[in-house]
């Protein structure tokens, strides 16, 4: 299911949105490319990466359906990392100049966008904190605690295999850890509908 731009995005920007479709591992932009757009992920998952001196990719940011991607580029002229699709993805490209102009013209949009970025920063921090945990069970519980709705439940947007990638686990490791957590009575639910007890 495709996510729609948030309601706070003004109609003038919606009219300028251009659809970008990417296959798995296809590049969106490269390090030092000129910044032209801010992106909104309609479906799929994107990664922004930097490379170490020995060529190892370091994931800086991940964004999935319903999230903006490439927002730091609003403050610079050239991309400071590379970006590619982790899975087949569809994005909306919003021209950088138009986004900046809309901030000036519509303080309500600027405020709503800023608050969305604060929430996104919290999610990104939680992601980094989570992948530093050694045990698969700890990563699962951390995710469920951090991402639960008001009722304490998490309904995953994708498959369990997609979630394994989000947690930095192999699918088989995720399935085994979920089984152990259920046996211990620490989590409840089946499939993609889960919660911590």
Non-local CB neighbours of 39 within 8 Å, separated by 6+ positions: 20, 28, 46, 68, 69, 70, 91, 92, 93, 94
Q: How close are the terminal C-alpha atoms of the chain, in Å?
A: 29
- Per-residue pLDDT reduced to its tens digit, 15-39: 999 999 999 999 999 999 999 999 9
Give the residue, 90 or 169, on which the prediction is more confident: 90
Fold assignment, 134-196: Arc Repressor Mutant, subunit A (1.10.10)
Residue 13 has pLDDT above 90, yes or no: yes
Residue spans per domain, the chain = 11-130, 134-196
- Per-residue pLDDT reduced to its tens digit, 87-139: 899 999 999 999 999 999 999 999 999 998 888 777 777 777 787 888 999 99
What is the percentage of the chain residues whose pLDDT exceeds 70?
Answer: 97
Residue 196 has pLDDT above 90, yes or no: no
State mean pLDDT over 182-193.
85
pTM of the model: 0.69
- Per-residue pLDDT reduced to its tens digit, 54-71: 777 777 788 888 899 998
Using alpha carbons, select from 81, 92, 83, 6 the residue that is nearest to residue 41: 92
State mean pLDDT over 45-61.
79
Q: What pLDDT is recorded for position 1?
A: 58
Contact 48, 81 (CB under 8 A): yes
CA 71 to chain centre: 12
Q: How far is it, in rounded angstroms, from Cα 77 to Cα 57?
A: 23
Second CATH level (architecture) for the domain 11-130? Sandwich (2.60)
134-196 shares the fold of 11-130: no
Q: What pLDDT is recorded for position 77?
A: 93
- Biggest distance spanned by C-alpha atoms of the chain: 56
Residue 152 has pLDDT above 80, yes or no: no
């Amino acid at each position: 299911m495709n996510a729609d731009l948030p309601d706070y995005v003004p109609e003038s920007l919606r009219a300028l949105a251009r659809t970008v479709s990417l296959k798995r591992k296809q590049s969106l932009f490269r390090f030092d490319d000129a910044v032209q757009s801010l992106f909104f992920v309609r479906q799929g998952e994107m990664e922004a990466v930097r490379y170490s001196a020995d060529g190892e990719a370091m994931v800086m940011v991940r964004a999935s359906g319903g999230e903006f991607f490439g927002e730091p580029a609003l403050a610079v002229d050239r991309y400071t990392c590379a970006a590619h699709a982790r899975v087949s993805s569809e994005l909306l490209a919003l021209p950088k100049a138009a986004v900046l102009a809309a901030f000036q013209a519509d303080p309500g949009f600027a405020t709503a966008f800023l608050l969305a970025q604060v929430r996104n920063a919290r999610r990104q921090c939680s992601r980094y904190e989570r992948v530093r945990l050694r045990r698969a069970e700890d990563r699962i519980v951390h995710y469920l605690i951090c991402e639960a709705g008001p009722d304490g439940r998490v309904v995953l947007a994708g498959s369990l295999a997609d979630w394994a990638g989000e947690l930095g686990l192999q699918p088989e490791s995720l399935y085994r850890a979920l089984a152990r957590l259920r046996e211990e009575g620490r989590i409840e639910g089946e499939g993609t509908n889960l919660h911590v007890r």
